[in-house]
Structure 1
Amino acid sequence: MSLLAHATIVALLFSAIWGLVASRSVIGAVACLNVAKSATAVHLVAIGYRAPAAAPIVEGGEPATATVDPVVQALVLVDVVIGAAITALILALAVEFVRRRGSVDPRDLVPRRK
């Protein structure tokens, strides 16, 4: 992997962690989780990339040049689909949280003692 890919992954993860810590909203926390998920997608793409390689499209025979790994591309698609499903689930829970508590503040998740 290149230095640019490593730097992008680290920057995405640190910004997601900082956003989770500083977030005052459940919706903001969901957005930060999506940023962290995109770091995994960048990591998978960087693993499967080869410098002079082409797309793995073969028409009737062996490929003429080196190709990138199609399994990694499929894993990125699975990562996107799972991330969308998890985001939808968390946002549905956030809507129910707002209905019951009237707030999107994560500190309101814990019941307060009187």
Structure 2
Amino acid sequence: MGIFPFLVVAWVVVVGLYGIVTSRDLINQIVCLIVVQSSTYVLLLGVGYVTGGAAPYFFDIPLHTKAVDPVVQALALTDVVVEAAVTALLLSFAIQAQKRFGTLDPHELSEFKG
């Protein structure tokens, strides 16, 4: 498969982290965090890819046939569910910050530390 998927992962992580560091809005930071977590999908695809591999069910496949690792597919599905839950939680925090403090700027919210 090569090194290309891993270079894509590194590039997507760097772009997402740059967005997180330079953003002045909580919603934008959450979206950038989603971008960073989306890089894990490409990482899992790069790790689990098998050239010429069959689907990971073995009903009528001959013995010694290359197959894709089903654990990687399960991890990718779990990653999607975790990302959805984390996104929902962070967006609910952003909504509460807007309601309570009237701003979504993280630098202004740091003034409210108690």
Normalising by structure 2, what TM-score? 0.90
Any residues of structure 2 matched to 1:45-56 within 5 Å, and which? 45-56=45-56
Q: Structure 2: which 5+ residue stretches go unaligned?
A: none
**CA 1:102–1:49: 2 relative to 1, 3 Å:** same
| Counterpart for residue 87 of structure 1 | 87
1:3 corresponds to 2:3: yes
Letter in 2 for 1:98: Q
Any residues of structure 2 matched to 1:3-42 within 5 Å, and which? 3-42=3-42
- In 1, Cα distance between equivalents of 2:87 and 2:55: 30
Aligned partners of 2:103 and 2:109 also within 8 Å: no
Aligned partners of 1:56 and 1:67 also within 8 Å: yes
38-47 vs 61-70, which moves further:
61-70
Letter in 2 for 1:79: D
Q: Structure 1: which 5+ residue stretches go unaligned?
A: none
- In 2, Cα distance between equivalents of 1:110 and 1:64: 59
Structure 1 residue 69: Cα displacement: 0.1
Structure 1 residue 58: Cα displacement: 2.1
Length, aligned pairs only: 113
**CA 1:74–1:101: 2 relative to 1, 3 Å:** same
Identity %: 38
Aligned partners of 2:97 and 2:104 also within 8 Å: yes
Aligned partners of 1:30 and 1:90 also within 8 Å: yes
- In 1, Cα distance between equivalents of 2:62 and 2:30: 44
